[in-house]
Amino acid sequence: MSTSGLIPRDPGATPEGHGTPELGLLAHLGVAACTRIARGRIQRMGPKPPWWDSVSDSDVFDAESLQWASHFAFLGHFLHDAEVAWAEGGDRVVRSGLWAEEFDGAARYFEAEAFTFRGRGLVLIHDLGDRGEEHGELLQAARSSALAADQDAQASARLQAETLRAKERAEALSDAKSSLLANVSHEIRTPLSGIIGLSELMERSEPRSDQVEFLRLIQQSAGSLLEIINDLLDLSKLEANKVEIRPEALDLRRLLADTLGPMAIRAHAKRLELNYRVDSAVPRLVLGDGLRIRQVLVNLVGNAIKFTESGEVAVFVSGQAAGDSVRLHFSVQDTGSGIPADRQQRIFEAFTQADASVVRTHGGTGLGLTISARLVAMMGGHLALRSEPDSGSEFSFTLAFESLSAAAGPTPNSSLAGHRVMILDDCATSRAACADVLTAWGCDVDTVTSPADATARLQSGVDEGRPVLLMVASRALPKAVETEWAEDTLARFAETGLELVLAFATEQRAQLVEWRERHKGRAILKPVGEEKLREALDDLSLAPKPPAEVRSPSREGAGRRVLVADDNAVNRMIVSALLQEHAYEVTAVVDGVEAVRALERDPFDAVLMDVHMPRLDGLQATREIRASEAGGGGRTPILALTAHAGESDRERCLAVGMDGYVSKPIDPAELYRELAQFCSEEARPGESPGEST
C-alpha cells in the first residue's frame, strides 16, 4: 500500500533520532522518508529504518556524486525523474519501479516514490526484503489495479462530464429549434390569420356562386397551410414524445372531401385524376383524431401527386365492423414510376428521399413519410408500402375506431329513390365512387364511359318508357367534358325532363361558371363526392330543397363594450367586424400603451389583447392593468390573442393575469364562446368565471 499518507504535517522538523510517530512507524515498516534539500540531493528525516546502516553512514544522498557509491546507483537516476515532478508541482507521484541491491551475497529489493507535500519534495524508499520480487509483483499488480481503477474513474468522470455537456448542448439545440419553430409559426400565422379572416368576411357578403367556391378553396388551402405549420411543430413534439391523439366525432366522407378538394388544384394542373371512394360499410360517424388522419393523408396524397406524371391518384377507405368498433383500411394509390425494393425502407427515414435527384426535381424535405409513419403508429397502426418500378405505389394503414352511428354509407336521399340515373365517366374510380353515392340514395344507376354510349342509352330509356331523369357527366383528364355535346343532349331530351350535372377540373373555371349560370348551378368541381352532388342537386325538382338557413344577426353583444389591442391592422379589422356582427361596441388600439390608457379613461366589459406588440406587449400591459386594479375598482376580463399555439404560451398568458386565450387564425365560434363567459347576462360584472362563488 502507499505510505505517503503517513508523512507528518511538518516534515522539516524531524532531526536525527527524533520525529513524529508517523515517521517512526514508517521506519518500523522499513521505509526511509527523505526530503529534498537541493537539486539531486535528499536527506533522511526521522528514525533510521533497519536497513539504513547497511547502506550508508550519511543521512544525505547526492545523485550527482553518488555519495552512496557502493549502493543505490539506481536511486540517483530516479532522482532526475523526481526533479521533473517536483518542478511541475501538483500532487503527481513518481515511482521508480523495483530494483535489487546486493548485501552479503544476498539480494534485497527496493522501490522509491517521489511526490510534493506542502511545497517540499519528498522521497520514500521502501525495503521489500529478500522476497521483494514476489512482493514487488503483488505491489505492482495492486498499483496497476489502483491505476486502472483511477483511470476508469477518471474516464467515467470525463464521460459523465461529456455526456452532461452533450445533454446540455442537445437541450439547448432542442430549445433553440422549438423557439425557432414557434417564432416561424407566429410569423406565418399572422398573415395567414388575415387570409382566413378576410375570406370568411367575404363569404358573409353574399358573393357570386363562383366566388363562393373560390373563397372556400382559399379557406381550405389556408387551413391546410396552417396544419402544415402545425406539422413542423409536431415534428419537434414527436421527437420529444409530446404529441397527443385527441379523438372526436369524425365524418370521414366530409374529411376526405375537405382534404382532397384543395389538393385537386395541384393534381389537375399536372393533368392527373384525383379521386376517392369510401366503402358502404364505413360508418357515417366514428370516434377518431381527424386532424392527425388528415395530416397523414395530406402527406401521402401530396407525395403521390408530386411523383406521378400521368394517370391517377386515388384514396380508398374500406371498413370491417366488429361490434361497436370498426377497423378502417386507408389506401393511397398512384400510377407513378414506383419505388425500387432496395429503397423502400429508406424513404421512411427523416430527411431521406428514394432518389437524391428528386430533391432537385420535386423539392421537399423528406419529412412527410417520417411524420406520417409516427402518427399512424401512435394511433395504433402501421404505415405499409407496396410498390414496383413502373407499376405505381400504394401506401396503406389500418386503424381501429369506435363507431358513433349505426348507419353506414352516405346519408340517404329519399327524394331520389327509384329514379333512373346515369353516370358518364371514363375513369373507373370516379365512376364507381359516384355510383356508390347514388345507389345508397336509392337510385337506379346506369353507367357509361363515352358520350356516344350515353346518347344511345338515353334514347333506349325513352323508347322503353323509363327515361333517364338525371345524368352526372365527367371525363378523365386530360380530356374535358364536351359542353357542346351536353347542350345538344339537354335540348334533344328536354321533353323527358332530363337534368344534367357536369363535373369540371379546377382549371376549367370559365366553363364551370358559364354552365352554372345557364343551368341553375348544375356544375361541380372534381373530385366528385356525396357533399358536392348534394349541393348540385339541392334545388332539383326531384329532390325537395331543405329550408335555407337564415342567418339572422345576433344581438348577444348588445350594450357590451370590448377593447381590441392588436398592432396588425388586418387582424384589428377582422376581430372588429366579427364582434360588430354580434352587436358588440368595439374600440381598437394598436399597442399595449394605448390599451392601458384606454382602460384608464373608460370602462370595458372585456379586452382582447394581442401578445406581441411594439412599445408595450400584451403580457406587460396585462401586468400594469392588474396592478392598477389591485387598489379596488373591479377586474376587467382580458383574453389573449396570439399566433403562438403551444400549451406553455397559454400558461404564460394566464400566469400574468389574463382570463382566457384565443388562438390565431381566429375561429369566430371560439371567439364568441370565450367572450360569452364574461359578457353574457349571466356573467357578473367585474369578475372572471373562476372568481365567482
Q: What is the CATH number of the domain that holds 108?
A: 3.30.450.20
pLDDT at site 399:
95
| 686 dihedral zone (left: phi>0; alpha: psi -120 to 50; beta) | left
Q: Is the pLDDT of residue 599 over 80?
A: yes
pLDDT at site 240:
61
Average pLDDT (251-256) is 91
Last residue of a domain, which of 344, 375, 403? 403
Residues 527 and 463 grouped into a single domain: yes
Please name which of 67, 367, 374, 379 lies closest in space to residue 245, comparing C-alpha atoms: 379
3-state secondary structure 444-485: EEEEECCHHHHHHHHHHHHHHCCCCCEEEECCCCCCCCCHHH
Q: Is the pLDDT of residue 499 over 90?
A: no
Q: What are phi and psi of 473, to 5 degrees?
A: -120, 135
* From 47-51, 149-153, 290-294, the region with the lowest mean pLDDT: 149-153
pLDDT at site 360:
37
Residues 318 and 337 grouped into a single domain: yes
Domain membership flag for residue 53: yes
Domain membership flag for residue 230: no
Last residue of a domain, which of 81, 106, 130? 130
Average pLDDT (613-640) is 88
Last residue of a domain, which of 114, 130, 146? 130
pLDDT at site 175:
65
Domain membership flag for residue 167: no
Residues 453 and 581 grouped into a single domain: no
Report the domain count for the chain: 4
Residues composing the chain: 693
Domain of 20, in residue numbers: 4-130
Domain membership flag for residue 159: no
Please name which of 278, 182, 308 lies closest in space to residue 234, comparing C-alpha atoms: 182
Residues 250 and 291 grouped into a single domain: yes
**In the chain, what is the straight-line distance between the N-terminal and C-terminal CA atoms, in Å?**
76
Domain membership flag for residue 553: no
**What are 640-668's pLDDT values in tens digits?**
987 765 667 778 888 899 998 888 778 88
**What are 24-83's pLDDT values in tens digits?**
777 887 888 888 888 888 888 888 888 888 777 788 888 766 555 456 777 888 888 888
pLDDT at site 68:
58
Domain membership flag for residue 113: yes
Domain membership flag for residue 548: no
Residues 367 and 492 grouped into a single domain: no
pLDDT at site 544:
37
Q: Is the pLDDT of residue 293 over 90?
A: yes
pLDDT at site 140:
53
**What are 311-351's pLDDT values in tens digits?**
999 999 999 888 788 999 999 999 998 888 877 777 766 54
Output the pTM of the full model. 0.53
pLDDT at site 363:
41
Other Cβ atoms within 10 Å of 337 Cβ, number: 17
Residues 341 and 367 grouped into a single domain: yes
Q: 69: which residues sit within 8 A by CB, 6+ positions away?
A: none
CATH of the domain at 625: 3.40.50.2300
Q: Is the pLDDT of residue 361 over 70?
A: no
**What are 179-209's pLDDT values in tens digits?**
666 666 666 766 777 777 777 777 666 777 6
Tell me which H or E stretch contains 426.
none
- Compute, in degrees rounded to 10, the torsion defined by CA atoms 584, 571, 592, 563: 0
**What are 403-450's pLDDT values in tens digits?**
887 666 666 665 677 889 999 998 999 999 999 999 988 889 999 999
What rounded mean pLDDT belongs to the chain? 78
pLDDT at site 539:
57
Other Cβ atoms within 10 Å of 472 Cβ, number: 28
Residues 310 and 249 grouped into a single domain: yes
Residues 507 and 431 grouped into a single domain: yes
Domain membership flag for residue 217: no
Give the angle 686-688-693 at the CA atoms, nearest 5°.
95
Residues 394 and 428 grouped into a single domain: no
- Contact yes or no for 516/522 (Cβ under 8 A): yes
Q: Residue 210 corresponds to which cell in the numbers above?
A: 363562383
Residues 249 and 374 grouped into a single domain: yes
Residues 278 and 354 grouped into a single domain: yes
pLDDT at site 663:
81
Q: Is the pLDDT of residue 136 over 70?
A: no
pLDDT at site 132:
56
pLDDT at site 6:
47
Q: What are phi and psi of 25, to 5 degrees?
A: -65, -40
* From 150-159, 215-224, 543-552, the region with the lowest mean pLDDT: 543-552
DSSP letter string, 477-538: TTS---HHHHHHHHHHTGGGT-EEEEEE-TT-HHHHHHHHHHTTT-EEESSP-HHHHHHHTT
Average pLDDT (681-685) is 50
pLDDT at site 180:
64
Residues 496 and 382 grouped into a single domain: no
% of the chain surpassing 90 pLDDT: 22
Higher pLDDT, 301 or 633: 301
**What are 553-574's pLDDT values in tens digits?**
566 778 889 999 998 887 888 8
pLDDT at site 236:
64
| Separation of alpha carbons 417 and 438, rounded Å | 9
> Sign of the C-alpha dihedral, residues 263, 265, 271, 276?
positive
pLDDT band at residue 388 using 50, 70 and 90 as cut-offs:
confident
Residue 184: what residue type? V
| Separation of alpha carbons 180 and 289, rounded Å | 27
